[in-house]
A and B are shown apart, each in its own frame.
Chain A
């Protein structure tokens, strides 16, 4: 499918190129530039929100930090507080702290943990890969499940259609914690097809990824199904059938391509959503990852770690959306003209 689409796209571009090249080129550069600019401002906003969350910690910040660090709630002497104030620059005016924080972010410095005596980036960095692998596997699985299910059930008479839709809705509504535990009970504890906890092979990845993939697939399926059924009504379907194309080939080669656009748009959002879903899933399956780090940090009020992860995920979301934008143009050449 992708092969024919890119071939068609290049063919069309070659035809159009000599006439429209300078203008469309400019428009495209402008469009990408505009997107990049808005991505940067959104990131700036996310960083500001993160800073405000750190500044909003109730009470005297140095005392709070020291108490969080030691797990106590007592008043502190100035001698005790002095090193904390120096380390976090708390004696500087708030605007200066804000600018310092932004400057730190530009250098890739997410601040330092209240609880562990380490930079936040070190804490997140060593766990990030595990979570990304889980998220990307989940998104791939969701696409696979969704495409198979929609192609098989969309526009096949009222019964099958109804079943397809119901499964989409139910799947989209399943909370991760519940689905994860049911999968764990069925496949790991009863059937022994997968390891119960931990492990780092492919088999250990399957159930956590499936837990994230099923609701996501249901969600994308709802959008794709509507579009798929609309595409099935199009004249090009009739003409392909008249040429003698088989139903399966027709669905996979022509209809699907028209139907996946909404799901492609959702994929950028999906990356952020699966990473945040990983918080629950990693906790159920006892997997390492930033989700586990986040839960620990939230319950111990280690705010810099929390904001570090939040800013990182916001960045992932923004970048993923930029990529999706480019992908969108590749899948649907019509967008390029607009």
Chain B
């Protein structure tokens, strides 16, 4: 989880600018959302108002109120507390899937860009084929073979979203390879291995910090889509996708059971996208300065 911490955002922005400017409101909102959810994942008891598992059938299916901020489910459990307690598993699934996805993307993208003719041809072809499968379909294919579980979700979403990122990595590595500093290193007679490890990869992979933030948000959306279809973590868990799946049965009587967990996921995805965008701009500026 620590890799998700928004802490490294501020320094590059302020360092690259002579005058300190107020940060954009979208960045502040994004950091607030992410910080809140990280806190919920780290220490749910601090933020929750009720026990996430205590049944109270007298208070079943109540709409959001002062006592139950997000309303209650069919067993009278407090939805807000369930969302807070579900944050850890949801974020872990998202971060896990993003790690699988970017890990694969780095290996495949680098191989496609720097491998010999045969290796880069084969990897390029594999990526081309993978692109013909939309991410959700690739994920569904894996769920069909492996059977639904949290681990399957991590693998399926990670593998499903990897081809897109692999293409970005390939472009980055190719751009770094044809840059002036690599040419200079070649001219200085540095060995190829050293140039790849010391020059090309560090420079090509720098934008991945921004992409990782974005990817965690996207992964949670994909994972929750699988869960919504009943192909994720089983409902007794309060993982957000499982909340969606469980709430579907009450969609006409208690729409908040689906709408609110969905809204939390949307908020996180937008915050992650926004943070990723700001990080990328900051990194670009840092590069130019």
Q: How would you classify the secondary structure of chain A's contact residues: helix, strand, loop or mixed? A: helix
What would 12 A/B residue contacts be, using CB atoms closer than 8 Å? A57-B145, A174-B266, A177-B225, A273-B134, A275-B134, A277-B136, A295-B140, A298-B143, A303-B144, A306-B141, A306-B144, A307-B141
For residue B148, CB closer than 8 A to chain A, the reply is yes
Partner of B229, one of A169, A295, A317, A318: A295
| Chain B interface (Cβ < 8 Å from any Cβ of A) | 125-126, 128-129, 132-138, 140-141, 143-145, 147-148, 221, 224-225, 228-231, 244, 251-252, 255, 258-259, 262-263, 265-266, 269-270, 273-274
| Bound Cα distance from A294 to B143, whole angstroms | 11
Contact A283 B229 (CB under 8 A): yes
B146 and chain A: residue at smallest CB distance: A58
Q: How many A-B residue pairs have CB under 8 A?
A: 123
Decide: A56 and B145 in contact? CB cutoff 8 A.
yes
Which residues of A line the B interface, CB within 8 A? Answer: 38, 41-43, 45-46, 49, 53, 56-57, 169-170, 173-178, 181-182, 184-185, 189, 272-273, 275-277, 279-280, 283, 294-295, 297-299, 301-303, 306-307, 309-310, 313-314, 317-318
Residue contact A177 to B251, C-beta cutoff 8 Å: no
Query: Which residues of A sit under 8 angstroms from B228, Cβ to Cβ?
Result: 177, 280, 283
Residues A297 and B144 in contact, CB atoms below 8 Å apart: yes
Among B133, B136, B225, the residue within 8 A (CB) of A314 is: B133
Q: How far is the CA of A289 from the CA of B161 in the complex (A)?
A: 24
Q: Which residues of B contact A279 (CB under 8 A)?
A: 136-137, 140, 229
Contact of A178 among B135, B229, B266 (CB under 8 A): B266
Q: Contacts A45-B128, A175-B221: A53 and B145 contacting too (C-beta < 8 A)?
A: yes
Within the complex, which residue of B132, B134, B244, B273 is in contact with A173, where a contact is CB–CB below 8 Å? B273
Residues on the B chain within 8 Å of A41, using CB = 125
Question: Do residues B147 and A38 form an inter-chain contact, with CB atoms below 8 A?
Answer: no
CB-CB < 8 A to B143: which residues of A?
298
- Could you tell me the distance between the alpha carbons of A175 and B231 in the complex, rounded to whole angstroms? 16
A307's nearest neighbour on chain B, judged by CB, is B141
Q: For B227, give the chain A residue with the smallest CB separation.
A: A177
A-B pairs with the 10 shortest C-beta distances? A45-B129, A178-B262, A276-B134, A314-B132, A298-B144, A177-B228, A306-B144, A276-B136, A276-B137, A272-B134
* Set of chain B residues within 8 Å of A177, measured between Cβ atoms: 224-225, 228, 244, 262
What distance in Å separates the Cβ of B160 from its nearest Cβ neighbour in chain A? 10
Given contacts A173-B266, A298-B144, A314-B132, 20 further A-B contacts (CB under 8 A): A38-B128, A43-B132, A45-B126, A45-B132, A53-B144, A173-B270, A177-B244, A181-B259, A184-B251, A185-B251, A272-B132, A273-B134, A279-B136, A279-B137, A295-B231, A299-B230, A301-B147, A303-B145, A310-B133, A310-B140
Q: Is the contact region of chain B dominated by helix, strand, or loop, or is it mixed? A: helix
Task: Give chain B nearest CB distance to A170 CB in angstroms.
Answer: 6
Cβ of A181: which chain B residues have Cβ within 8 Å of it?
Answer: 251, 255, 258-259, 262
Complex contacts, A294 vs chain B, CB 8 Å? 140
Given contacts A169-B273, A189-B252, contact A313 B262 (CB under 8 A): no
Interchain nearest-CB distance for A324 vs B (Å) = 14
Contact A318 B132 (CB under 8 A): yes
CB distance from B168 to the nearest CB of A (A): 15
A100 to chain B minimum Cβ distance, whole angstroms, is 20
| Residue of chain A at shortest CB distance from B228 | A177
Tell me the nearest residue of chain A to B258, going by C-beta. Answer: A181
Give the Cβ gap from A271 to chain B, nearest Cβ, in Å. Answer: 10
Contact A313 B133 (CB under 8 A): yes
A181: nearest chain-B partner, CB-CB:
B258
With both chains docked as a complex, state the minimum distance between the C-beta of B257 and any C-beta of chain A, in angstroms: 10
What residues on A are CB-neighbors of B270 within 8 Å?
169-170, 173
Report which of B128, B144, B251 forms a contact with A301, defined as CB distance below 8 A.
Answer: B144
Please give the distance in Å from B140's CB to the nearest CB on chain A. Answer: 5
